[in-house]
Amino acid sequence: MPSIETYNSNAENQWCPGCPNFGILQAVKKAFVDLDKKPDQICLVSGIGQAAKLPHYLRCNLFNGLHGRAIPVASGIQVANPNLTTLVVTGDGDCYGEGGNHFIHAIRRNPNITVMVHNNEIYALTKGQASPTTPLGEKRSLQVKGVDIEPLNMPMIAITNNCTFVARGFARKIDHLKTILVEAVKHPGLSYVDVIQPCITWGTRPVAWYEERVQELGEDHDSGDKKAALEKALITDDTIPIGILYRTEPRSAFAHRYRSEVTEGPLAEMPAMEADQLKDILSRYIP
């Protein structure tokens, strides 16, 4: 049985002291303990940003690649080795900005991965420029007169486009976030968790502002009710609902048909192809 210490890495942590990212890191470790996952059963995938450093601070398989490109890499990893628990760790700038197109089409394809977004409403690694979730009118280093376009509401977009697991967590509610992540990983197909993660260096609102507003969804919330889920996703001002906003019956995951025809195990464990089979395939590409 793994423990929290099982996932400790030797990498030097470069987050600001007191950053809410530490809460997310702890929640991820606790979730893997609850799921009884060994480090070699996990693969974390990230792009660029402060959030993307999280895999460095866990002892497990990881892939750290280009800005906004974590989701297609994770989809490929999951198809190649469905035995791995594959989790994308990304930020709002990385996932909703550079990687926005990948996120939208991942909802359509429905790969069996979990996408966890650290949402601090800015690009924190590059000192606080506006991201796709920065509130309207907020002044940032490059938006000196204030952001003049409406922010994206990705949970709402995910629900309306039939993502079958959509949740919102808060970095300072570690056990609550851990519970969400456990359910997300268990969910077959794409599960998406937006995590409110206030930036204590470049953010304009203190952590206490969020602590006063986040509100755990009560037992009266029916996560299977799409209309109710949308109503909760749209609330982002005086109260910010956190929990599993929407969960419905899983649909066929990306590459399911291919896997059912070829192998349900890792591709690396497939028997070697016969020479005649290989020649036949290559002959299709010879003029």
Q: Render pLDDT for 165-188 as a digit per residue (tens, 0 to 9).
A: 999 999 999 999 999 999 999 999
Degrees to nearest 5, angle at CA 179 with 182 and 55 = 60
What count of other Cβ atoms lies within 10 Å of the Cβ of residue 215?
15
Res. 273: pLDDT tops 90: no
Distance CA 96, CA 146 (A): 20
pLDDT value at residue 236? 76
pLDDT digits (tens, 9 = 90+) for 95-133: 999 999 999 999 999 999 999 999 999 999 999 999 999
pLDDT digits (tens, 9 = 90+) for 144-167: 999 999 999 999 999 999 999 999
Q: Report the mean per-residue pLDDT for the chain.
A: 95
pLDDT digits (tens, 9 = 90+) for 52-100: 999 999 999 999 999 999 999 999 999 999 999 999 999 999 999 999 9
Distance CA 244, CA 152 (A): 19
Sign of CA dihedral 98, 226, 221, 150: positive
